[in-house]
Amino acid sequence: MQTKRLTDTLSVTGQIDPDDIARLAAQGFRSVINNRPDGEGDDQPRSEALASAAQQAGLDYRHIPIVPGQLQDSQVGAFTDALEQMPGPTLAFCRTGTRSTMLWALGAVHDGNRTVDDVLETAAQAGYDLAGLKPRLAQAAASPKSGEKGSA
């Protein structure tokens, strides 16, 4: 398992197993976000097994499943909320780490924390090509932020 750092408090990786959780805790992670829907792959552990291992290791755990190609704004909001509510540093994972990186990127530009070019460069440095997401990132950056007039 190779973790890739996106920020001081967030790293991403591909699929993890329950046996990896104690090692993550030993590396200093305090929270885990699972972005894979259960049953996506035959060799994939169920979320309940990962949640149990996280609890045993003293880590916070959230399951925010993203079906490939079906990333919704509500899931971006849930991911951003999780990052704000859970103790860091946090490790988010999916099959390869791409969906987790996309969630972070969309949330970061929408909240005004990062520019589109900045999140694309950060993702690229971590090994994730989000160029195809650039139009959606630009749209997220232009949308009203939380608490601004016109936001829902």
19 in a domain, yes or no? yes
Provide the domain count of the chain. Answer: 1
> Domain residues for 16?
4-142
pLDDT at 147: 44
CATH of the domain at 133: 3.90.190.10
Strands (E), the chain: 4-5, 10-13, 31-34, 60-63, 90-93
67 in a domain, yes or no? yes
Is the pTM higher than 0.85? The answer reads yes
Residue 56 in this model has a pLDDT that exceeds 80:
yes
- As a whole number of angstroms, the distance between CA 46 and CA 37 comes to 9
151 in a domain, yes or no? no
| Band of pLDDT at residue 145, cut at 50, 70 and 90 | low
Share of the chain above pLDDT 90, in %: 89
| pLDDT tens-place string over residues 122-144 | 999 999 999 999 999 999 999 86
152 in a domain, yes or no? no
149 in a domain, yes or no? no
150 in a domain, yes or no? no
| pLDDT tens-place string over residues 4-13 | 999 999 999 9
